[in-house]
Structures are given as structure tokens and as C-alpha cells.
Amino acid sequence: MKTNLQKVFAITGYPGLFTLVSQARNGIIVESLYDKKRMCAGPSMRVTALADVAMFTDKEEVPLRKVLEKVKNVYNGEKSIDHKSDTPTLLQFMESVMPDYDRERVYPSHIKKLAEWYNVLQENGMLDFEEEEEEEEEEEKKEEMINE
């Protein structure tokens, strides 16, 4: 089954990633990908869908889905480096995955999250992503403009 990154969340103040289980009256019910425990994420919590995350490159922002796919290709779908690695190792990891990443705006803390999130998704067999419909529509529009 393909993973929809609109339903995978990072929640500020809580470790790891969560998946959407259900809508609740005062928030959403999420399940931790680490320990499978469920909780209600209320309106005061900062919840970010992974589909809304991007990484800076020298030219543009690249959606997290594409960055995760690059990591998957570099590591052949296997586990990547440990997110607790030292800074030089993290920088080397990022260089191997995305050589054109923006070195001024992508911090080691961002790279740690990337490695951690990739490994959590890999451990849960969630590295096969759904294509985002909007992205496909944009590509089609660009092609139509080029062909005209």
C-alpha cells in the first residue's frame, strides 16, 4: 500500500512520526509509528503533515517526498545513517543524497530530522509514496504550455 504523506505527521514536542487514525471532536487521533500508542492531537498542538515539508536547494524548494525518494535510492531502500551521528557525518549524508542542497538554510538539525524520519518510514515499510495530485496537474499544465 502506498503512503500518503498528508496523513503522516510530525508533532512539535513529541518524538517521531504519527499517522492519522481518525477525526475527533477537538482534534485528530494519531498513532505513533514508534510504539503504536494513540493520542489526541488537539488544536493547541503544532501538527505538520510531511506533505507540507520541503528542503531548500540552490534553485528551489524540493518536496520532502522527493528528498525521501532520493535517500531511498542512495541507500537502496535500506536504513540510512543514524540521526544521532555527528555533524560531519550528517553533512556527508546530505551531500550524498542531495548535492545541491542550500548549505546556508539547511541546518544539521534539519538533516537529523530527515535521517530520523526516513528510518522510521523505512522500518514501517512506508517508503512507497502516493503521487500528489496537484503536482501531477502542474506537470501536465507545463507540458501543455511547452507543446503550444
Does residue 61 share a domain with residue 41? Answer: no
Does residue 94 share a domain with residue 33? Answer: no
Does residue 66 share a domain with residue 125? Answer: yes
More confident residue, 133 or 27: 27
Q: What is the domain extent for residue 42?
A: 5-50
Residue by residue, DSSP assigns 62-105 as: EEHHHHHHHHHHHTTTS----TTS-HHHHHHHHHHH-TTB-TTT
Tens of pLDDT along 92-116?
Answer: 999 999 999 999 999 999 999 999 9
pTM for the model stands at 0.83
Q: DSSP class of residue 132?
A: P
Q: In the numeric block, which cell numbers belong to residue 48?
A: 505538520
Total tally of structural domains belonging to the chain? 2
Question: Residue 64 maps to which CATH number?
Answer: 1.10.10.1650
Does residue 58 share a domain with residue 23? Answer: no
Does residue 106 share a domain with residue 75? Answer: yes
3-state secondary structure of 130: coil
Does residue 108 share a domain with residue 63? Answer: yes
- Give domain status of residue 46, yes or no: yes
Tens of pLDDT along 2-45?
Answer: 888 899 999 999 988 999 999 988 899 999 999 999 999 998 99
Q: Are 28 and 38 in contact (CB under 8 A)?
A: no
Q: DSSP class of residue 5?
A: G
